[in-house]
Every structure is written in C-alpha cells, then in structure tokens.
Amino acid sequence: MNEKILFVDDEVNNLECWKRLFSDSFPTLTASNPVDALDIMKDNRVSVIVSDYKMPQMNGIELLQRAKRLYPETVRVLITACNEMKIAVDAINEGEVYKFVTKPWDDRELKSVVVDSFNRHRLIQQMRAAEDSTLLTIAQAVELKDHSTKGHCDRVARYAIELAAAAGVNRQMLRQIRVGAWLHDCGKIGIPDSILNKEGPLSLEQFEIIKNHCVWGADVARLAGLPEVVIDIILHHHERYDGKGYPFGLKGEDIPMEARIVSIADIYDALTTDRPYRGKYTREKALEILEGSKGSALDASLVDKFPALARTF
C-alpha cells in the first residue's frame, strides 16, 4: 500500500499504542518530535498525519501548519486534551486541521477519524483529472453515507443545468455547473453517519459539524485542481441571498451565480424527496416554498425562471 500514516507525540508510550492499533491496517510511521516528523515527510508520501498538541520545539498546530504548506494533500488530525478543545475547533475553522480527537482517546473514535481522513485523501486523488463519469461515481459513493439522498446529486445537476441554460449560461460553464452540482456535498465524507442520518432536529454542535462540509469539500476540489466554478458551488451553495447563510455569510450577487443556481436546485430536490426528519412535499408545495424564499434565501430573478422548468422534471 502507498497510503501511510504518521503519528507525532513526545510521549513514546502513545506512539507505541498507536502503532499497535494501526500497523495491521496502514503502514505506520512515528516521530517523537515535530522536527523529525518533517524530516520523515520529506522521504515518505504521508497520506494522514496525526499530531499531539503539546510538544517541545513547536506545538501540534504549528507542525500541521508547516505540513499544510509543504504537503497540502496530507490530511491533518490533531490530538488534544479536553481543556484545549477551543484551540482545536479554531484550527478546524481556519483550515489548519481536518479533525481532532481528545485525550484520553477512545480507540474506536480514533480509528473512525483516521478512516475518514484516508477517505478524504483518496477522494482528492480520485477527483484529479477524472472524467465526468468518474466524478459522478465519486459523488454517488459519497451519497451512500446519507441514506436519504440516493440520486440527489444527479437530480440537482439536472435541475441546475436546466436553470443555468434558462439564465443564458454558456456551454463550457454548463459543464462545470454539472460537475459542481454532482460534487456539491462531497465534503460530507467527513461527517459522522450518526449525524447525517439522525432522525429529528440536529443540536447546535451537530449543525456546526454539518456546516463544515462546504469548506472541507471545497478544499478537496481545490487540491484536486478542479475549476473555480466547481469549487465555488461546493463552497457557497449554502449561502443565502440575504447574507444569513454559511460558511461566510455572503450576500446578494457577492454569491457566485453558479452557487445561487445550484442552491435553488438543491433546495427543490430536498423539498421533493423524503428525509429522515419529514416526508416529501408535492411539486406545487415545493414551488410555493421557493417563491416564499425569494430575496431572503434565494435569488428572486432565478427563482422566477424555475416553475416553468419544474413542470418538465
């Protein structure tokens, strides 16, 4: 296997524990200080690096920042004490860290985080220079994590292409919108299944985790070298026209047009399919909800074009 994981901690006993835990699954490297870790990464293609936070010479976030600059495709995980959780959350929000695990760690949780991290790394490799059919297959594989969204990415792409064509988008951009619509939720590969498939409302903490999928997915697409239109769709499809969306609270036409298009297609498909927390709406009711969202969540000029198209879906 070419996939390697590197654990970094100044406590040798921890390194030995992690090596026993993972060596049967992945080639496992260890370093007892950050300087040695960077030397190891020079000579090895490391897919995932897992670092402790408190270490001499430099802390874990400083190490992962350097790793990000030197090896941007390596997925970065931080292990930290419970009282340092804010540090870890800030590092995630700033894009320095993909995930974190608290000490004392639970072996099952750590294994789950590591598997998610390897999946993210594989996704980057698969998306690079992939043909359209492969990109659709990747999107469909991500959908398998969320039991309620089978066929979602393909339907969203179909609706988005129809709306984009009605808005006068050129042929090259139509192709990029199709790919962006397929992959708009690819960042969900990092969301725990227990959250994606939860019946009933999410807690505030769970919703914050869900919101990260836009940034995670856009990072993957950027590292895979996909076009900016695709990246913008993944990153901004949950922005709202009134500026109350996420991840950046963009407003109005500051939201890229391609993201405003996919947002309408995404919401329409969500409304007209069964979800764990409610049954599907009729087409008429879904269009009524879109109409009521003009100027708040959605671009009114694009919503106005949608009802005529929806009759053909």
> Bridge partners of 49?
6, 76
Instruction: Report the alpha-carbon distance of residue 268 to residue 162 in Å, rounded.
Output: 13
Q: Report how far residue 288's alpha carbon sits from residue 286's, in angstroms, rounded to the nearest whole number.
A: 5
Distance from the first to the final alpha carbon of the chain = 45
Q: Is the C-alpha dihedral spanning 4, 91, 207, 111 positive or negative? A: positive
- The single residue of 111, 188, 198, 251 carrying the catalytic annotation is 188
What H or E segment, with its residue span, contains residue 152? helix 152-166
Whether 145 is a known active-site residue: answer no
Contact 226, 219 (CB under 8 A): no
Please, which residues have CB within 8 angstroms of residue 288's CB and are 6 or more apart in sequence? none
Active-site residue list? 188
